[in-house]
């Protein structure tokens, strides 16, 4: 009993300490699935505990009833015969084995070297299993092949694909209308977007780029040197496509374009923060083009 209690305590406390050890910035509880599984696990453990208590109480009750029957038999002066318990009765029903006194009725007539055989019938648990599979097969056949009320695998696959497609479209849709990619992306500067970007960065990118952006497996993101360019479009492109044959994977499947825009914008705010233990500069110094120049070239081009 002591060991069970210890185990239960461990079960309850371990996840707690593990969750507490997580970074204070983002809590795992932000993930709705974590919350869902925790609640389900909690309900499951509670139900198990209630069941255990119920079984224990039933045993106590059974013991009391037997004790009473024994006392009554003693008073009446008759011999006490113990009633079979629920488990014994269930077991007898499941197997339905002929009692030893009746064995001679079901003895088969052949005999080999003194070995004889009893003609016991199939145990009910086995027979019922067979009946249930037959019922299941009929229901399955009618549902899937006759009335078509449930989808076949191919149909299920098609629906899932359609759903995923719709989800993808929703993810790609932005308020501004046109597709958000490296050519159309603009740097976000509002606090809410940057806060979102920071969350995305800490949970997905900090393992390689450090929380401060100082760089570790991945390059330093706080200096002026970039391997793939330092504009918002360049950053978006690297995050979206990754860099083949390096640890920098493509994040397009994990992050929506909006999220990639947020995290790229957040990275741009890290410039010049001079975090401790920075990784040495890699790539070329990037000098942002003044906005006027861009407009000028466009005007010049248009007027030519
Ligand atoms: C598994 C490690 C790893 C993770 C996780 C990771 N990166 Fe990288 N990242 C790298 C490596 C390695 C490079 C350098 C690639 C190269 O050699 O060109 C890189 C390069 C980059 C660059 C280009 C830097 C430059 O100098 O041009 C950006 C921007 C970047 N990562 C952003 C991110 C963002 C945003 C995330 C999270 C969504 C992320 N990274 C997650 C390893 C990682």
User: Domain map of the chain by residue range?
Assistant: 2-83, 100-146, 191-288
Q: How far is the CA of 230 from the centre of ligand 1 (A)?
A: 13
Q: Pick 134 or 185 by higher pLDDT.
A: 134
Token pair listed for 213: 């952006």
- Coil, strand or helix: which one is 153? helix
Q: Confirm or reject: Cβ of 215 under 6 Å from ligand 1.
A: no
pLDDT in tens, 166-220: 988 887 765 556 678 888 899 999 999 999 999 999 999 999 999 999 999 999 9
Q: Confirm or reject: Cβ of 259 under 6 Å from ligand 1.
A: no
Q: Confirm or reject: Cβ of 268 under 6 Å from ligand 1.
A: no
CA 225, CA 112: separation in Å to the nearest integer?
A: 92
- Coil, strand or helix: which one is 297? helix
Q: Confirm or reject: Cβ of 284 under 6 Å from ligand 1.
A: no
The CATH code for residues 191-288 is 1.10.760.10
pLDDT in tens, 256-276: 889 999 999 999 999 989 898
Residue with CA closest to ligand 1 atom 22: 238
Q: Confirm or reject: Cβ of 236 under 6 Å from ligand 1.
A: no
pTM higher than 0.95: no
Q: Confirm or reject: Cβ of 180 under 6 Å from ligand 1.
A: no
Q: How far is the CA of 277 from the centre of ligand 1 (A)?
A: 18
pLDDT in tens, 222-262: 999 999 999 999 999 999 999 999 999 999 989 988 999 99
Model pLDDT, residue 297: 53
Closest CA to 15 of 31, 30, 1, 34: 34
Question: Is the pLDDT at 126 greater than 90, yes or no?
Answer: yes
Q: How far is the CA of 214 from the centre of ligand 1 (A)?
A: 12
Closest CA to 41 of 6, 5, 17, 8: 8
Residue with CA closest to ligand 1 atom 8: 248
Model pLDDT, residue 14: 58
Q: Confirm or reject: Cβ of 228 under 6 Å from ligand 1.
A: yes
Please give the C-alpha separations between residue 256 and each of 11, 181, 203, 226, 302, in angstroms, as whole numbers.
36, 11, 15, 24, 34
């Amino acid at each position: 009993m002591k060991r069970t209690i210890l185990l239960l305590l461990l079960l309850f406390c371990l996840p707690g300490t593990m969750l507490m050890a997580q970074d204070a910035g983002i809590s795992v509880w932000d993930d709705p699935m974590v919350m869902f599984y925790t609640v389900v696990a909690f309900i499951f453990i509670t139900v198990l505990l209630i069941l255990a208590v119920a079984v224990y109480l039933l045993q106590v009750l059974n013991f009391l009833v037997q004790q009473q029957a024994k006392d009554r038999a003693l008073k009446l002066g008759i011999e006490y015969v113990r009633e079979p318990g629920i488990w014994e009765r269930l077991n007898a029903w499941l197997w339905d084995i002929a009692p030893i006194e009746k064995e001679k009725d079901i003895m088969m007539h052949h005999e080999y070297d003194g070995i004889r055989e009893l003609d016991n019938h199939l145990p009910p648990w086995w027979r019922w299993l067979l009946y249930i599979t037959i019922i299941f097969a009929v229901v399955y056949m009618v549902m899937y092949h006759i009335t078509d009320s449930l989808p076949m695998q191919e149909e299920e696959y098609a629906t899932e694909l359609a759903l995923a497609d719709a989800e993808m479209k929703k993810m790609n849709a932005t308020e501004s209308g046109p597709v958000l990619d490296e050519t159309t992306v603009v740097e976000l500067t509002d606090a809410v977007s940057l806060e979102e970007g920071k969350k995305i960065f800490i949970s997905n990118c900090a393992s390689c780029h450090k929380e401060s952006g100082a760089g570790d497996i991945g390059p330093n993101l706080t200096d002026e040197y970039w391997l793939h360019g330092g504009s918002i479009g360049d950053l978006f492109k690297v995050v979206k496509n990754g860099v083949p044959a390096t640890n920098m994977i493509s994040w397009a499947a994990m992050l929506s374009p909006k999220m990639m825009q947020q995290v790229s914008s957040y990275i741009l705010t890290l410039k010049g923060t001079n975090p401790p233990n920075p990784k040495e500069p890699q790539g070329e110094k990037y000098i942002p083009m003044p906005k006027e120049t861009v407009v000028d070239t466009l005007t010049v081009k248009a007027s030519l």
